[in-house]
Structure 1
Amino acid sequence: MNIHKMVIIVLMISFISCKKQDVKDHSDHVEMNMDLKNELETILIKDQGIRELVNGNVSDERKAELLVQMQINESDIEGIKRFELMQQIDSINLAKIEKIIAEYGYPGKSLVGEPANKAALYVIQHSKQIGTYLPLIRKASAAGDIAQTSLAMMEDRNLMEQGQEQIYGTQIKGKANKQGAWIYFLWPVKNTDSVNLRRKEVGFDQSLEEYLKSIDVEFQLYTLNEVNEL
């Protein structure tokens, strides 16, 4: 399997994971910062749109729509250029989000509504700054500005990046095994006998088994030591 195909599969899993596990919040009507709302919606379109385009599993109609929304040309996503564009978009988006957070704190739904309240979350999740902003994400979730499932996904991602067991079973890892084949597996989960209860408590509507089946990943529980031996 070539590197481009492997990257596409990883991105596809990440994208599907976000789409399937995120749940919508509901908020009372409040006066919003419309300029900030519009800016965040543009950031969100670019963050999610480039991942749809990199995945490649989009209709011609949807592809054309994304190109217009993102103000890019089809030539910008030819071959390896789509990965370079994604890195560029992620870097620019992160700089914008960090500036927004410095001024407003987490831009939640009480300030910018939905789906703009998810923009900062996704941008941070796709960066190397999760550890920096996780306390802010926790506070925003406690205030009801983002869904508990979104926080759960970020908690799991942060633990996985630190080489620790995840809590809710949201993270899938890809790596080359000892035979050189590229494999995908559920990152080790802490206290697996109660994971579905934890998932339910934070609002996931799928059990771990159902979630893995939905993204075509084998239900196999590994320990941290076993992962190192794959």
Structure 2
Amino acid sequence: MEHEFRAELLRRSALDQQAREHWLGGGGGWAEVKRIDADNTAWLTGIVAEHGWPGQALVGVDGAHAAWLLAQHAPPEHQVRWLDLLREAVARGDAQARDLAYLEDRVHIHQGTPQRYGTQWFGIGDNATRLFPLADAGRVNARRAAVDLPPIDEHDLDNAWQLDELRQLLPAHWGDQ
């Protein structure tokens, strides 16, 4: 195991979470979160280019999870690029399927297509936070169970955003694809 990579991944993921908690608590600006994300993305890009996806064999279970977190908060073009690498790592038992589910859903959201696992929620203005649109909502809990995620309550499934609602509220992002 590469202890230096693991330690740096854990340090960077801790900074990521601290900045987000600070921002959510009203104590910090979104600009600081974005600065940390940009720095983490640049660093992870170099690691992936040199070593491939930092999976469990290279950086341990917690290090691999930290790599996913950095990818989850990277710009969409990096997420798309890293999605197949994470998928391959999961297939060989070198990363967690649950992490893949989150990144896959995030990529779908950025592409304006329904998510598969129900990991992404969103509130707009005074609207309550709701699930982003779901692909085949009737099977989402089976897909979640397969990747060790808890089920989503029927009420939340029934109240998930619909594509047409988001197209009206966010036409620049959720327009026809």
TM-score (norm 2): 0.84
2:174: which partner in 1?
A: none
Provide the rounded CA distance (Å) in 2 between the counterparts of 1:133 and 1:142: 14
Q: How does 1:1-150 map to 2 (within 5 A)?
A: 32-56=1-25, 79=27, 81-128=28-75, 129-150=78-99
- Asked if structure 2 preserves the Cα contact closer than 8 Å seen for 1:51 and 1:86, the reply is yes
- Asked if structure 1 preserves the Cα contact closer than 8 Å seen for 2:61 and 2:95, the reply is no
Tell me by how many angstroms 1:51 deviates. 1.6
Provide the rounded CA distance (Å) in 1 between the counterparts of 2:43 and 2:160: 39
Could you say if the C-alpha distance between residues 211 and 133 of structure 1 is closer, same or farther in structure 2, counting changes exceeding 3 Å? farther
* Higher fraction of helix: 2
**RMSD after superposition:** 2.2
Provide the rounded CA distance (Å) in 1 between the counterparts of 2:164 and 2:38: 34
Of 185, 193, 202 in structure 1, the residue corresponding to residue 130 of structure 2 is 185
**Equivalent pairs, count:** 167
> Which amino acid letter does the alignment assign opposite residue 220 of structure 1?
N
2:124: which partner in 1?
A: 175
Provide the rounded CA distance (Å) in 2 between the counterparts of 1:221 and 1:118: 27
> Which amino acid letter does the alignment assign opposite residue 201 of structure 1?
A
For structure 1, list consecutive stretches of 5 or more residues without a partner in the other structure: 1-31, 57-77, 213-217
Are residues 1:160 and 2:109 paired? yes
User: Which of 1 and 2 has greater Rg?
Assistant: 1
2:153: which partner in 1?
A: 209
2:173: which partner in 1?
A: none
Could you say if the C-alpha distance between residues 105 and 82 of structure 1 is closer, same or farther in structure 2, counting changes exceeding 3 Å? same
> Which amino acid letter does the alignment assign opposite residue 65 of structure 2?
K
Q: Bigger relative contact order, structure 1 or 2, given CA contacts below 8 A and separation 6+?
A: 1
2:164: which partner in 1?
A: 225
Provide the rounded CA distance (Å) in 1 between the counterparts of 2:84 and 2:110: 16
TM-score (norm 1): 0.66
Could you say if the C-alpha distance between residues 126 and 211 of structure 1 is closer, same or farther in structure 2, counting changes exceeding 3 Å? farther
Moved segments of 4+, more than 4 Å: none
